[in-house]
């Protein structure tokens, strides 16, 4: 039986790189660092992914700590960071190959409710059925919580041992393994990822 393939999103399917988003707006130096710290590294961004706060909450909180000249940039970063989305190299081809070979494909991602606006813009997303996408903010859970893996498998009636999970975060991968999934860390090296999937019994070209 073919394993079920479960994809994370950021740094697996698409390049989630806040410093790049900030640089595209033309900010450098201390201003860039302030935007990175207050928008993306505050507790609010984590709560946004958990579904506990809105994007406007993130903006309002970040702006309370930022100088006024950076307020519009904070708003654009929260609401528009995904408009110039960059796919991870080789990701779309891998997804299509697995789809063509008959694998059941799923998404398990830490993401805010904006996920539902932008996910279809990711190359290869057409092979990842909407009904098989599990986003953290819908369930008020975050990887690497044990409960998110448990609920994911319950939702789709999957045996954890039947799943191969791909994530860029070692803690998320380790948590998935503890739950009983096969899991690999994607470090941005597609040839390596393909070799590791092959070693787990996934029929991919290497």
Q: Considering only CA atoms, which of 149, 93, 94, 87 is closest in space to residue 119?
A: 87
Check: CB of residue 108 under 8 Å from CB of residue 83. Answer: no
Cα–Cα distance for residue pair 202/206, rounded to 1 Å: 11
pLDDT digits (tens, 9 = 90+) for 150-204: 999 999 999 999 999 999 999 999 999 999 999 999 999 999 999 999 999 999 9
CATH number for 4-15+86-199 (one of 3.40.50.1820, 3.30.365.10, 3.40.50.1000, 3.10.290.10): it is 3.40.50.1000
User: Which residue stretches of the chain have pLDDT < 70?
Assistant: none
Domains of the chain by residue range: 4-15+86-199, 18-84
Q: Which residue has the tokens 């009983």?
A: 180
């Amino acid at each position: 039986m073919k394993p079920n393939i479960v994809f994370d999103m950021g740094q697996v399917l698409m390049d989630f790189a806040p410093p790049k988003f900030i640089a595209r707006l033309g900010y450098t130096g201390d201003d860039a660092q302030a935007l990175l710290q207050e928008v993306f590294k505050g507790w609010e961004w984590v709560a946004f992914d958990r579904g506990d706060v809105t994007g406007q909450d993130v903006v309002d909180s970040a702006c309370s700590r930022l100088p006024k000249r950076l307020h519009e940039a904070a708003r654009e970063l929260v609401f528009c960071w995904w408009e110039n989305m960059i796919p991870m190299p080789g990701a779309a081809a891998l997804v299509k190959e697995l789809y063509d070979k008959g694998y059941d494909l799923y998404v398990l991602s830490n993401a805010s409710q904006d996920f539902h606006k932008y996910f279809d813009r990711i190359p290869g997303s057409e092979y990842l059925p909407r009904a098989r996408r599990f986003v953290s903010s819908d369930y008020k859970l975050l990887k690497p919580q044990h409960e998110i893996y448990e609920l994911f498998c319950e939702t789709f009636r999957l045996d954890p041992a039947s799943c191969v999970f791909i994530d860029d975060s070692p803690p998320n991968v380790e948590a998935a393994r503890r739950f009983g999934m096969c899991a690999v860390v994607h470090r941005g090296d597609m040839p390596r990822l393909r070799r590791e999937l092959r070693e787990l019994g996934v029929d991919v070209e290497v």
